[in-house]
Amino acid sequence: MGDPIRLVDPLAVEQNGARRLEPLTILNDALRVLANRVAVWVALGMSFGLFAYSIVKIDPWRILAASVFTLLVYVPLAWAERKRR
């Protein structure tokens, strides 16, 4: 009879020290990249929204809140994405 079917974790498959390009591995990598990009775009949109809201009625506390949000959320995400490239 033929060889039995083996279930293999696509992330654990290695060939000569490099990962083989299994379909699930490719899909996993693509989804990870998309998730990171979406997080950056959402944080950027929220930063723009906060700054637009702070411009409607200028108040130093609103501008400070928008700046702090941008520094705490968007900048680390953008920095991490830049390091991945």
pLDDT of 3 above 80: no
Domain extent at residue 65: 14-84
Q: What is the mean pLDDT of the chain?
A: 78
Residue 53 lies in a domain: yes
Residue 6 lies in a domain: no
pLDDT of 32 above 60: yes
Residue 9 lies in a domain: no
Give the pLDDT band (50/70/90) at residue 8. low
User: Tokens in use for 47?
Assistant: 């930063």
Query: Quick check: helix, strand or coil at residue 15?
Result: strand
Residue 3 lies in a domain: no
pTM value? 0.57
The residues, ordered by sequence, that sit 6+ positions from 51 with a Cβ below 8 Å of its Cβ are: 63, 66, 70
Residue 1 lies in a domain: no
The pLDDT, as a whole number, for residue 16 is: 57
Residue 7 lies in a domain: no
**E strand map for the chain:** 14-15, 18-19
What is the count of structural domains for the chain? 1
